Structure 1
Amino acid sequence: MFIKVKDKSHIRNSIFIRSSQMSDSIFLGIVLALAGGFMDAYSYISRGQVFSNGQTGNLLLFGVNLASGNFYVSFHYIVPVIAFASGIALSEVIHIVAYKRNKKFLSDTSKDSDNVCNKSVETSGRRPSRLMPSFSMLSFHWRQVSILIEAVIIILVAFVPVGENQLANSLTSLACGIQVESFRRIHNRNIATAMCVGNMRTAVESLCSYYYHREPSVKKTFLIYSSAIFFFIVGAILGNFCINLFSERAMLVCGMLLLIGFLIMFIDLEKAE
């Protein structure tokens, strides 16, 4: 089931709405960037200065401590990396399973439609208009399943005791891996909502290109990537604020952000056109 947006004439070309599907929209991108910044701030401030999103830093510290003979400390940094990779794998499994189930459903529905048409020809001599497969059973997009699982994981992190930082960081990195793999595009542009290095490179590149060529599409690219960076920072600020108020329970706020993202994906803009 989807919510339709009827009147979009005044915002048709805005980066804040126009998208091929809601999982590709700037609205959802903003929510995910807020959550990404929040999670990184939480894991670093509250859970032993480990990065839940940026695994480059964790791999670096793993290598440094391994070389220094600090094997226990190095283990502390490699576990989130493994959890992050597991989140990516889990997201891909969800995608593959959803694709196969949907393909089977459409195939079965098409066969049922052919059978109805053939029976109609036999009884009345007329072939009815072809029955189209119903998508009522496919009410959830696979990315909605991913973000819902991510939200549940993040909410669970809020109830992990303070002393169990390894578990909390592993769960957070698992959730980040799901997000990074499931949501990789905004307005048909490859983008990361849980880290900033690639976004910064593309934003600066687009700004320089726009300065010389003045192409509207390049300007739009700059605004999209800059927005992702900006809201990631806002998410980190929000995370710090909530940590001061709620301590380890602050992740409940991040879980609410992800649930909002889940609900946003029920808005179907394309069907309104």
Structure 2
Amino acid sequence: MTKLRAKGQMSESMALAVFLTLAGGFQDAYSYNCRGKVFANAQTGNIVLLGQNLAQGNLGAALRYLVPLAAFLLGVYVTEWVRHLCRNNEKIHWRQIVLLAECILMVIVGFLPQAFNMEANAMMSFACAMQVNSFRKFRGIPCATTMCIGNMRSAMELLCRYHITRDRQLMKKSMHYFLVIFIFAVGAAGGALAGIWLREPAIWAAAGLLTVGVVLMFIREGTEDF
């Protein structure tokens, strides 16, 4: 048998998914506990809180949630431009550029005091959008690293289909989703504790996790047997 080196990046590897998901959970808990009860990733929650404050006439509080929502939308838009402009770059993959940008934003956020919470949340939401728009599949399975609702739905759908068909591949895919959900929860726990103990600089831990992701993406996929 001949060993051939796979040419693809590790953008769909489970190892990368672990670090991105840990960072995703960490950012959400950090932003909520340390940056004024705003979600970095869970934009649905921000929309609910935005609507609630608008209904109560709290325009200043509503702005706290509108800014990260706008930043998230901008992050998706910018990511598509990065993909378009760098799609033929042979020296660095466009997803590596996205992760590097995320790391830089997280480092900057760690230096911002509480008076700049709105700016910090905007940067984190922007970074989250870049991540969720760039990394959509792992091991060929659609999966999110910055939120859980879609993963929860997919996990239970596949589990039910396994019980109906007894197809073990469906069970494996379901367990894949449950694992990602668990990893997100671990990251969230870490973000909550670090935010309480270390305050603003705690987000540098998420930057470290993303940096590991950058390094992993410079590693080619393993060998394949033919």
Residue 200 of structure 2 corresponds to residue 253 of structure 1 = no
Given that 1:159 and 1:249 are in contact with CA atoms closer than 8 Å, whether structure 2 keeps it comes out as yes
Instruction: Answer yes or no: is the 8 Å Cα contact 2:30–2:194 preserved in 1.
Output: no
User: Residue 26 of structure 1 contacts residue 224 of structure 1 at CA under 8 Å; is this kept in 2?
Assistant: no
Which ranges in structure 1 are unaligned for 5 or more consecutive residues? 1-5, 8-17, 103-137
Asked whether the equivalents of residues 36 and 176 of structure 1 are also in contact (C-alpha less than 8 Å), the reply is yes
C-alpha distance in structure 2 between counterparts of 1:255 and 1:211, whole Å:
40
Partners of 1:251 and 1:193 lie apart in 2 by: 17
Matches within 5 A, 1:1-273: 21-99=9-87, 101-102=88-89, 138-269=90-221, 273=225
Please state how far the C-alpha of 1:91 moved relative to its aligned partner: 1.1
Is contact 2:72–2:129 with CA below 8 Å preserved after alignment?
yes
1:272 is displaced (CA, Å) by 5.6
TM-score of the pair, normalised by structure 2: 0.92
Contact 1:22–1:264 at 8 Å: present in 2 too? yes
The SS at the match of 2:115 is coil
Question: Contact 1:157–1:251 at 8 Å: present in 2 too?
Answer: yes
The two structures have a TM-score, normalised by structure 1, of 0.77
Q: Distance in 1 between matches of 2:211 and 2:18?
A: 13
1:26-64 deviations in whole A, cap 9, x for unaligned?
111111110000000000000010011011111111112
Runs of 4+ in 1 over 6 A off after TM superposition: none
Provide the alpha-carbon RMSD of the alignment: 2.0
Q: Secondary structure at 1:208's aligned position in 2? A: helix
AA partner of residue 151 (structure 1): C
Deviation at 1:82, TM superposition (A): 0.4
Kept in 2: contact 1:42–1:240 (CA 8 A)? yes
**Cα separation, 2, equivalents of 1:193 and 1:78:** 23
C-alpha offsets along residues 197-254 of structure 1, whole Å, 9 cap, x if unaligned?
0000000111111122221221221121111101100001111222233211101111
CA distance in 2, matches of 1:58, 1:242: 22
Instruction: Work out the CA distance in 1 between the residues paired with 2:149 and 2:71.
Output: 21
CA distance in 2, matches of 1:49, 1:32: 22
How many correspondences in the alignment?
Answer: 222
Report the AA paired with residue 269 of structure 1: E
Distance in 2 separating the partners of 1:269 and 1:47:
38
Q: Which AA in structure 1 matches 2:134? A: S
> Aligned partners of 2:170, 2:84: CA distance in 1, in Å?
33
Give the Cα separation in 1 of the matches to 2:114 and 2:61. 18
- Which ranges in structure 2 are unaligned for 5 or more consecutive residues? none
